[in-house]
Structure 1
Amino acid sequence: MLQAMTLNADVPARVTLESAAGVATLTLNSPALRNALSLAMIAALSDQLDALAGRNDIYAVLLQAEGPAFCAGHDLKELTAHRNDPDRGRAFFDETMRACSALMQKIVRLPQPAIAAVDEMATAAGCQLVASCDLAVAGPRARFCTPGVDIGLFCSTPAVALSRNVAPKHAMEMLLTGAPIGAEEALRIGLVNRISAEGARSGALALAQRIARKSPQAIRFGKQAFYAQREKPLAEAYDLASAVMVDNMLAEDAKEGVAAFLEKRAPTWARQ
Structure 2
Amino acid sequence: MNYQYLLYSEKEKTGYISLNRPEKRNALSRALLEELTDLLNKIGAEKRVNVVVVKGIGKIFSAGHDLKEVSDGGPQDVLQLFQTCFGTMRAIREMPQPVIAQVHGVATAAGCQLVAACDLAVAAEDALFATPGVKIGLFCTTPAVFLSRNVGRKKALEMLLTGEFMPAKDALVYGLVNRVVPPGELEEATQKLAATIARHSPSAVAVGKRAFYRQLNMEDFQALNYATEVISLNSTTEDAREGIRAFLEKREPEWTGR
Per the normalisation by structure 2, the TM-score is: 0.96
Q: Deviations over 1:170-205 (max 9, x none)?
A: 111111110001111111111000012234222111
SS in structure 1 at match of 2:61 = strand
What letter is aligned with 2:42? A
Question: Residue 245 of structure 1 aligns to which amino acid in structure 2?
Answer: I
Structure 1 counterpart of 2:239: 253
Q: Does 1:39 align with 2:30?
A: yes
Query: What is aligned with 2:225?
Result: 239
Structure 1 position 16, deviation (Å): 0.9
For residue 164 of structure 1, report the CA deviation from its aligned partner: 0.8
Q: Which amino acid aligns with 2:228?
A: S
Structure 1 residues 75-154: aligned runs within 5 Å: 75-82=66-73, 89-154=74-139
The equivalent residue for 2:48 is 57
What residue is the counterpart of 2:163 in the other structure?
178
Aligned to 2:195: 209
For residue 85 of structure 2, give the secondary structure of its aligned residue in structure 1: helix
Task: Report if the CA contact (8 A) 2:239-2:257 is conserved.
Answer: no
Q: CA deviation at 1:57?
A: 2.3
What is the CA–CA distance in structure 2 between the aligned matches of 1:200 and 1:104, rounded to whole Å?
24
Three-state SS of the structure 2 residue aligned to 1:19 is strand
* Amino acid of the structure 1 residue aligned with 2:223: A
Runs of 4+ in 1 over 3 A off after TM superposition: none
Worse-matched range after superposition: 190-199 or 28-37: 190-199
Number of residue pairs aligned between Structure 1 and Structure 2: 255
| Counterparts of 2:4 and 2:77, CA distance in 1 | 18
Aligned-pair CA distance for 1:67: 1.1
> 1: CA distance between counterparts of 2:168 and 2:201?
31
Deviations 1:209-257 (A, max 9, x none): 1110011111011000000111222222112111110111001111011
Shift of 1:13: 5.2
Q: Does 1:222 align with 2:213?
A: no
**RMSD of aligned residue pairs (Cα, Å):** 1.4
Give unpaired runs (5+ residues) of structure 1. 1-11, 83-88
* 2:64 maps to 1:73: yes
The 3-state SS of whatever aligns with 2:53 is strand
TM-score normalised by structure 1 residue count = 0.91
CA contact (8 A) 2:112 2:143 kept: yes
1: CA distance, partners of 2:135 / 2:4: 26
Name the residue aligned to 2:149.
164
SS in 1 for 2:107: strand
Aligned partner letter, 1:117: Q
Letter paired with 1:194: R
Name structure 2 gaps, 5 residues minimum: none
Contact 1:196–1:202, Cα closer than 8 Å, also in 2:
no
CA distance in 1, matches of 2:62, 2:156: 19
Deviation of 1:33 (Å): 1.0
